[in-house]
Structure 1
Amino acid sequence: MHDPTQVRGSHHHDHDGLTRRPADGVLRVGVAGPVGSGKTALIEALVPVLLQRGRTPAVITNDIYTSEDAAHVRRTLDGILAADRIVGVETGACPHTAVRDDPTMNQAAADEILERHPDVDTLLFESGGDNLTLTFSPALVDLFLFVLDTAEGDKMPRKRGPGITECELLVINKVDIAQYVRCDLARMESDAHEVRQGRPVVLTNSLTGEGLETIADFLLAHEAAQLPGAPAASA
């Protein structure tokens, strides 16, 4: 029996043999970052904030051989977001492939969610744990967040990499533990602003909700800037 919360394999197509893009009017947001940086926790904390803002989100996670992240999101959001609005993609390959090089499987998963739930207006795509070179294909998402955490060390922004420099919003997560892992949070934030040349950076604690409203503001402002007739967003 087909499980609507799981997608496996290296290719997935619609019945007509073509992979359709998600429906127009749906804000598509990628969430990337190294293993353990808190991508899943961030999404789990962000969904209730989006719901409070009147949004109707759905979540697509990527793991190489399992759907553990999707299962975790379903458990955490039980009673908040219906299980079939949370889908796990088993990429069977490098996470970069599934969201940057050939996002076919994620596009198909999005199509399936939107077919079942046409009211969805926000799709959150979580990449599998990845390195600093990961970016999302513009064929899949409208913008993406890249998540670092203080336990990785304040040197991380200085390593640059396209994930850090090209994402629309850089998230420095787990700010509450910086003092315990010898991370100079002020320097980490300053370096992040420097390497991103002024592009947005937000500090977060997904457990307390710190910074989550700022992320929601950013996402909705980005969407508003893309609406027909809206003025172009400033650089």
Structure 2
Amino acid sequence: MSPTHRDVATVGIGGPVGSGKTSLIADLVPRLREAGLDVGVIANDILTQEDADALRERFAGIVPDELVAGVETGACPHTGIREDPSMNLEQIDAFLDSHPALDVVIVESGGDNLGATFDPELADYYAFVISAAEGEDIPRKRGPGVVDADLLVINKTDLAPHVGADLDVMAADADRVREGPTVFTNCKDGDGIAQVREYLSEEVLFA
């Protein structure tokens, strides 16, 4: 019997528009490949393949083109990751039809608000990405994505001084509103990406 989406590890990456989800994935996937893992990537958006096309170009020679796909939800991006993940599950099944030994599929949500979460059938583990440039008050707003995510990623730390965001305050607020870990990243310089990979490895990939 051919493997299905239930037979492969799945990791969701969610967060608002501009938080750096695509950049995080672009930095993360090569590190997973270096660890010997076969990776598929799905980029969700409303009516565009732009993120998928950008990732396919970025991963040339690293991930086969057919293992990078775009899912056009046609509605609010969270629809395809939470309310009805069937389009994403079908795409994972399609990956496995041609690559049955696939180790992990990363599912990027379309840019959404702080309420985006993943259906447990779609994502075994999910990270929620916010940007320090959005302001230091984002963690204490207690959006479901921030509170419930397995891993909170506070990205674009290099921009914090330019918007008056105090990273220590963001860290303290994150600790107060959530039980899971928080990682600070700067995808521009690769800061914190190794730590994200370590969490994924410990909790999902080699659990």
TM-score (norm 1): 0.84
Q: State the partner residue of 1:169.
A: 151
Residues 129-140 of structure 1 correspond to what in structure 2 (within 5 A)?
129-140=111-122
Say whether 1:157 aligns with 2:139. Answer: yes
Taking the aligned partners of 1:68 and 1:124, their CA distance within structure 2 comes to 17
**TM-superposed deviation, 1:211:** 1.0
Residues 23-62 of structure 1 correspond to what in structure 2 (within 5 A)?
23-24=6-7, 26-62=8-44
Say whether 1:79 aligns with 2:61. Answer: yes
Candidates 76, 101, 125, aligned match of 1:119 = 101
- Give the conservation status (yes or no) of the 8 Å contact 1:45–1:207: no
- Matched residue type, 1:81: V
- Matched residue type, 1:188: M
Query: For each residue in 1:3-55, what CA deviation from the matched residue of structure 2 results, as whole angstroms up to 9, or x when unmatched?
Result: xxxxxxxxxxxxxxxxx95141x210000000000000000000011111111
Q: State the partner residue of 2:194.
A: 213
Say whether 1:204 aligns with 2:204. Answer: no
Query: For each residue in 1:59-78, what CA deviation from the matched residue of structure 2 results, as whole angstroms up to 9, or x when unmatched?
Result: 00101011111011112222
- Give the conservation status (yes or no) of the 8 Å contact 1:32–1:145: yes
Taking the aligned partners of 1:124 and 1:219, their CA distance within structure 2 comes to 11
Query: Which deviates further from its counterpart, 204-213 or 164-173?
Result: 204-213
Q: State the partner residue of 2:204.
A: 223
Q: State the partner residue of 2:173.
A: 191
Instruction: Kindly report structure 1 stretches of 4+ aligned residues shifted beyond 2 Å.
Output: 223-226
Give aligned-pair identity as a percent.
48
Taking the aligned partners of 1:206 and 1:83, their CA distance within structure 2 comes to 23
TM-score (norm 2): 0.95
Query: For each residue in 1:74-114, what CA deviation from the matched residue of structure 2 results, as whole angstroms up to 9, or x when unmatched?
Result: 12222222211100001101111100011000000000011
* Stretches of structure 2 lacking an aligned partner (at least 5 in a row): none
Query: For each residue in 1:175-233, what CA deviation from the matched residue of structure 2 results, as whole angstroms up to 9, or x when unmatched?
Result: 11111222111111111111114x2000011122211111111111112675xxxxxxx
Candidates 45, 49, 61, aligned match of 1:63 = 45
Taking the aligned partners of 2:184 and 2:196, their CA distance within structure 1 comes to 10
Query: For each residue in 1:96-154, what CA deviation from the matched residue of structure 2 results, as whole angstroms up to 9, or x when unmatched?
Result: 11000110000000000111112210100000001111110001110100000111000
- Give the conservation status (yes or no) of the 8 Å contact 1:47–1:57: yes
Q: CA RMSD in A?
A: 1.4
Which of the two has greater helix per residue? Answer: 2
Taking the aligned partners of 1:205 and 1:224, their CA distance within structure 2 comes to 23
Taking the aligned partners of 2:196 and 2:183, their CA distance within structure 1 comes to 8
